With several copies, the nearest count.
Chain A
Amino acid sequence: MGPVTLDGAWTRRWVEAVAAEVSRRKAELTALDRAIGDADHGENLDRGFQAVLGKLDALDDGATPAAVLRLVATTLISTVGGAAGPLYGTAFLKASMAAGDRDELDAPALVEVLTAARDGIVARGKAESGDKTMVDAWTPAVEAASAAGDDVRAALAAAAAAAAEGAVATEPLVAHKGRASYLGERAVGHRDPGAESTALILAAAAETT
Chain B
Amino acid sequence: MKKLINDPGKTVDEGLAGFAAAHPDLVRLIVDPPFAVVRADAPLNGKVGLVSGGGSGHEPLHAGFVGHGMLDAAVPGAMFTSPTPDPILEATRHVNAGAGVLHIVKNYTGDVLNFETAAELALAEGIEVQSVIVDDDVAVKDSLYTAGRRGVAGTMLVEKLAGAAAERGDSLDQVAEVARTVNSRVRSMGMALAPCTVPHAGEPSFELGEDEVEIGIGIHGEPGRERIALEPADRIVDRLIEPILEDLPFQQGDRVVLLVNGMGGTPQSELYIVFRRAAEVLADRGIVLARSLVGSYVTSLEMQGVSITLLQVDDDLLELYDAPVQTAALRWGR
Q: Contact between A182 and B110 (Cβ–Cβ < 8 Å)?
A: no
Flag A157-186 by CB within 8 Å of B: 1 or 0 each. 000000000000000001011110111101
Q: Are A87 and B113 in contact (CB under 8 A)?
A: yes
Size of the A side of the interface (Cβ < 8 Å), in residues, is 33
Known: A37-B222, A40-B198. A177 touches B83 (CB 8 A): no
Residue ranges of A at the interface with B (Cβ–Cβ < 8 Å) = 30, 34, 36-40, 43-44, 47, 77-87, 124-125, 174, 176-179, 181-184, 186
Using A78-B33, A176-B146, A182-B147 as known contacts, say yes or no to A34 and B201 having CB atoms under 8 A apart.
Answer: yes
Within the assembled complex, what's the spacing in Å between the Cα atoms of A147 and B253? 65
> Which residues of A are found within 8 Å of B224, using beta-carbon distances?
182
Given contacts A34-B206, A186-B223, contact A86 B78 (CB under 8 A): no
Q: Are A39 and B198 in contact (CB under 8 A)?
A: yes
Can you show 16 pairs from A to B with CB atoms below 8 A apart?
A: A38-B81, A38-B220, A40-B81, A43-B201, A79-B84, A83-B113, A84-B110, A85-B110, A87-B113, A125-B109, A176-B147, A178-B109, A179-B109, A179-B218, A179-B222, A182-B218
Whether a CB of chain A sits under 8 angstroms from the CB of B124 is no
Closest B residue to A177 by beta carbon equals: B147
A86 partner, pick from B113, B145, B205, B218, beta carbons under 8 A: B113
Inter-chain residue pair count (beta carbon < 8 A): 113
Q: Which of B84, B147, B201 has the largest count of A CB atoms less than 10 A from its CB?
A: B147
Check: B327 CB closer than 8 A to any chain A CB. Answer: no
Chain B 94-111, CB-CB to A under 8 Å as 1, else 0, gives 000000000000001110
**Closest chain B residue, CB of each to CB of A44:** B81
A39, A47, A86, A174: the one contacting B114 at CB < 8 Å is: A86
Q: Chain A binding site: helix, strand, loop or mixed by DSSP?
A: helix
- A81–B147 contact, CB under 8 A? no
> Cβ of B128 < 8 Å from any Cβ of A?
no
* In the A-B complex, the 7 residue pairs with the closest CB atoms: A86-B113, A82-B110, A38-B220, A83-B109, A181-B146, A83-B110, A82-B81
CA separation between A59 and B208, bound complex, in Å? Answer: 49
Contacts of B225 in A (CB 8 A): 182, 184
Cβ contact within 8 Å between A85 and B84: yes
Chain A neighbourhood of B201, CB < 8 A:
30, 34, 39-40, 43
The verdict on B265 contacting chain A, using a C-beta distance below 8 Å, is: no
Q: A39-B201, A78-B84, A81-B110 known; A86 and B147 CB under 8 Å?
A: no
Q: Which residues of chain B have C-beta atoms less than 8 A from A182's C-beta?
A: 139-140, 146-147, 150, 218, 222-225
A38 near B222 with CB under 8 A, answer yes
Q: Is there contact, CB below 8 Å, between B77 and A82? A: yes
Chain A, Cβ-Cβ closest to B146 = A181
Chain B residue, CB-CB nearest to A179: B222
Q: Are B205 and A38 in contact (CB under 8 A)?
A: yes
Bound complex: CA A184 to CA B225 (Å): 8
A77 and B85 form a contact (CB under 8 A): yes
A80: nearest chain-B partner, CB-CB: B84
The reply to whether B110 and A86 form a contact with Cβ atoms under 8 Å apart is yes
User: Within 8 Å CB of A37, what residues of B?
Assistant: 222
Within 8 A of A (CB), among B174-203: 198, 200-201, 203
Let me know if B19 is at the binding interface, CB within 8 A: no
Residue of A nearest to B205 (CB): A39
How distant is the Cα of A128 from the Cα of B45 in the complex, in angstroms? 45
**Besides the known contacts A34-B205, A86-B113, A125-B109, 12 further A-B residue pairs in the complex with CB atoms under 8 A apart:** A34-B206, A38-B80, A40-B81, A43-B201, A79-B84, A81-B77, A81-B114, A85-B113, A86-B117, A178-B109, A182-B146, A182-B224
